[in-house]
Structure 1
Amino acid sequence: MPERLENRLVNKSIEAFILGIEIYNKPTIKYRVEGFSFFICNAWELLLKAYLVKCKGDDSIYYSDNPDRTLSLNRCIKDVFTNDKDPLRINLETIIDLRNISTHFITEEYEQIYIPLFQSCVLNYSNKLADFFNIDISTHIPQNFLTLSINIDEITETTIKAKYPRQIADKILKATKEINRLSSEHGPRFSISITHDLHLTKNKKHASAEFRLSESAEDAAFIIKDIRDPKETHKYTTGKCVDILNKWIERDGLAFQSLSPAKGKDNTFNAYHFRLFTDFYNLKSDIKYCYEFNLHSQPTFTYSQATINLIYSEIKKDPENIIQHLKDKINKS
């Protein structure tokens, strides 16, 4: 029996997506902006066509006045994401513009400008693949590969004008200004800033590199505390974490079981469950997961994306019994 068109399109879409990720994260490839933009657009086009076939049938991906020609990516976007103010749609259309100009004009600075859009686009694709076809992209590529590698310097107007002729410098600066404006307007579904933070640890199991201090070293080194805005790194309240986890549980159809479920909500994750996780894993004592504000008599706590990821990965392992197991272990300790 021949494979259904919908499935062929989805499988090709996932392959194009993975190719884009691999190209971007490979340090020896110089044209990774162009390569990524090409393959991520191809992945979206195939995914949206598969979704149209699923919803409307095989003929829906062809132009009515030209049945031999399939719809363009721009047309697919308009047919599926009908709200032209949707940040996801604006993100995609902006990357399409980059793809269209990459064969004519591109500089290394474009990576610095577009990397927040690329990262958002990767996560948007993962979410829609799950929403449309109930496919978890982490079954095809490890979750940590979904964070794009970055090796960039700050773009300054002075540097750009000194490095490039006026016409090229103007294009770069104009693009930078426009992306910054759109990012401030549309939030994380349009762009996600990427940062790589270094932390000191005495536990070798948690270290990716080792060093030692020496009084006899020729060059002095200084350990400094990095300054980070917790409103950006730890922006989730308990309530927001609970909301996101419930959406993910529903999205993936997990058979989550509550200890004392409210009537009619047997599989609802709540604040009590969240506290079980934070207590058992001692998350409030680890800055990677939790930030404590002491502005008032009672401290308040906010959480990072890593907290949500950790809790969900544990829920997925045993959704029916995880809460009872946590409670039992906490009571024994």
Structure 2
Amino acid sequence: MYFKDSSDRTIPLEKCIALIFTNNKDPLRINLEKIVSLRNTSTHFITEDYERVYAPLFQACVINFTNKIQEFHGVDITESIPQNFLTLSVNLDDLTDEQIRAKYTPQLAEKLIIDRNDIEITTEKTNHKFAITIQQNLYITKKKKDADFNISVTRDANAKGNIIKELRDPSNTHKFSFKHLMEEINKQLKDQNIPFSHSNSSGKSRDKFNTHDLNEFIKFYNMKKEPKYSYEHVIGNSTQYSYSLEAVNFIVGEIKKKPERIISDIKKANKKR
């Protein structure tokens, strides 16, 4: 941004952020201000562990950018950059205080520890617009076409391993209840300006994705049998399901292909089964 009366003078980035995002409690603004602060001091604090401390901030910033460029300019960045290129690839090993202090000078170690703790605390108080926890999950499948890479299992291997048959922490990997899954899908449809609509047999149209639509999707794609989409919680004689962010992205992606007829097509296909 430039001064109106002097086009050769630019407004500082901090001022631009304050002018555009006027709410100083907005997690998106806090994210940008934190990254600007890191930029201003990063020359002195870049280390091999930099990414492990700050990656959640950068990942949130990438997602915020894709949403805001769509909102402000009507540009869908995924049409130019594949979705998988918008996910950061980082070292995800745990980084303890002892490891930091053993590797770096006291000044640098304390800087990393303080920043890491500040990010973690702020993340707990805000939402995914400030920071996104980055993690990787590996699943073993017998469907070769669905695999990202191939492995072989042998009892004679020097390195021993176990095949994990259950997700250990579904509260992190599959955090959406049925209701929250539907709400997140509607939020993504709105954020991405996807013109979803469905007309019933009487010709009445609606633009909200509802519980009936979600049930049709789950049934058609057999999502309750796909570990990457759902997790089964068995409590006594009761069974409940929670769903992953991957389930959100998949459903939104399918709606985006044909937003005005996807539900009608799925319903017809389900009736034929």
Whether 1:129 and 2:53 are equivalent positions in the alignment is no
Equivalent of residue 114 in structure 2, options 166, 170, 174: 174
**Structure (1/2) with the larger helix percentage:** 1
TM norm structure 2: 0.91
Q: What value does the CA root-mean-square deviation take over the aligned residues?
A: 2.2
Whether 1:73 and 2:27 are equivalent positions in the alignment is no
1:14 aligned residue = none
Q: What does the per-residue CA deviation read over 1:114-140, in whole Å, with 9 as the maximum and x for residues that have no partner?
A: 001111111011111111111111011
Q: CA deviation at 1:146?
A: 0.8
* Cα separation, 2, equivalents of 1:262 and 1:82: 45
2:248 aligned residue = 308
Shifted more, 159-168 versus 291-300: the winner is 291-300
Q: What does the per-residue CA deviation read over 1:245-295, in whole Å, with 9 as the maximum and x for residues that have no partner?
A: 223334444443324399986222111001111000000111110112223
Secondary structure (helix, strand or coil) at the match of 2:8 reads strand
**Structure 1, unpaired ranges of 5+:** 1-60
Q: Which amino acid aligns with 1:90?
A: I
Secondary structure (helix, strand or coil) at the match of 1:118 reads helix
* Cα separation, 2, equivalents of 1:265 and 1:325: 16
**Structure 2, unpaired ranges of 5+:** none
Whether 1:204 and 2:144 are equivalent positions in the alignment is yes
1:230 aligned residue = 170
* Cα separation, 1, equivalents of 2:4 and 2:192: 36
2:158 aligned residue = 219
Q: For residues 218 and 83 of structure 1, do their structure 2 counterparts lie closer, same or farther at Cα, with a shift above 3 Å needed?
A: closer
Secondary structure (helix, strand or coil) at the match of 2:75 reads coil
Secondary structure (helix, strand or coil) at the match of 2:95 reads coil
* Cα separation, 2, equivalents of 1:72 and 1:228: 46
Q: Which amino acid aligns with 2:16?
A: C
Q: Which amino acid aligns with 1:285?
A: K
Q: Which amino acid aligns with 1:111?
A: E
1:41 aligned residue = none
Q: CA deviation at 1:238?
A: 2.1
Secondary structure (helix, strand or coil) at the match of 2:9 reads strand
Tell me, yes or no, if the aligned pair for 1:290 and 1:301 is still in contact at 8 Å. Answer: yes
Tell me, yes or no, if the aligned pair for 1:134 and 1:251 is still in contact at 8 Å. Answer: no
1:242 aligned residue = 182
Q: CA deviation at 1:64?
A: 5.2
Secondary structure (helix, strand or coil) at the match of 1:135 reads coil
TM norm structure 1: 0.76
Shifted more, 153-162 versus 187-196: the winner is 153-162
Q: Which amino acid aligns with 2:182?
A: V
The count of residues paired between Structure 1 and Structure 2 equals 272
Equivalent of residue 151 in structure 1, options 91, 111, 130: 91
